Amino acid sequence: MAKTQVKRAFKYRFYPTDAQAAELSRTFGCVRKVYNMALAARTEAWARQERVNYNATSAMLTAWKKTEELAYLNEVSSVPLQQTLRHLQGAFTNFFGRRAKYPHFKSRKRSRKSAEYTTSGFRFRDGKLTLAKMAEPLDIMWSRPLPEGASPSTVTVSQDAAGRWFISVLCEDPAVIPLPATDAEIGIDAGLDHLVSLSTGEKIANPRHERKDRARLARAQRELSRKAKGDGTNRAKARRKVAKIHARIADRRRDRLHKLTTRLVRENQTLVIEDLTVRNMVKNRSLARAVSDAAWRELRGMLEYKCAWYGRNLVVVDRWFPSSKLCSACGALQDRMPLNVRSWTCDCGATHDRDVNAAKNLLAAGRAVSACGTGVRPQRRTPGGQSATKQEIHGATRGISRL
């Protein structure tokens, strides 16, 4: 089996010294400042119907460093500052290509604190990584080794809301090998009662990580709400306590999803999922918490890149496909499917579990997509005039207080 060259990011936690933390904090602030100034300049030019590209903003950065007001930009490495201008250029490219909204300004409190270094901005020798403007290497917890002979191309340093420091090392990973081909196929139906239901009849329980820490989170949020607003130390401590609980929830959720998606990709050649509109679902106030905790979009993202790595096929079925209302045995479409019905019997005599039946129908539709190469859209609307996707959303809200 031939090896494929894959760019892969390896993320580690590290513990900076006080001097390193101060240097990185200054870098984060300068990166944010340069990004916002360049965005403001490009926005003003946009109002004048002029185009400003990366080269123009790079020249602006050189001029800004020569001013007395912005001379402090010279105190940090120039590499992250140039990289943030490249990121802004990418954001405008996506905007002009109608793949994203207009870029927005970075906030000191809400935006992600990060800085990206290319090869000229760091030194990696003998398993030790030293960033520009620093005399000592970072104290990195190497929880797993980098690929043998790896040469990092970029290094991204970040700090999350909980105050934890992370470094992401991007390098070629020659160890990613396509898995041996298999005839196994599986349909995957996402839900809230069960995280996923498989066409094999297996159901994966929804761990509801947020629910387990909901009492602790609510208590911490109440304490935060009692603190005087501003930049006080007590409010910062309370805010960090809330962030640590959120980080704990996110870490457990991500770990569970990684284990699940790796198992599904290893065992099956073709995986079929539904194109869920998670962005619209979370607009429902009674549903947003449960949908966000299930992390369906993150689940799909993991399946996408792991299937690409290991030579698997991921088929995405159209969101309007009425998977829950079709009989997987005879193909009959039910006129109505009451939301409280979790199992039902078709006129042909077949008895179905609602979620497993949907997974089986998704698998059948995925096979049709693979064979025909077109989207599956047998019925965009249900006979009652309500979209199948909306029905599933409202069905998930039943008994939402216990989620």
Active site residues: 189, 274, 355
Contacts of 317 (CB under 8 A, 6+ apart): 272, 273, 274, 275, 323, 362, 365, 366, 369, 376
Could you tell me where the DSSP H helices lie in 134-287? 209-212, 214-226, 233-267, 278-281
Closest CA to 352 of 330, 369, 328: 328
Closest CA to 293 of 239, 212, 218: 212
How many whole angstroms separate alpha carbon 49 and alpha carbon 43? 10
Contacts of 304 (CB under 8 A, 6+ apart): 314
Contacts of 246 (CB under 8 A, 6+ apart): 161, 162, 217
Count of beta carbons in the 10 Å neighbourhood of residue 385:
6
- Residue 386 to residues 176, 320, 354, 383, 393: CA-CA distances in angstroms? 45, 11, 18, 8, 11
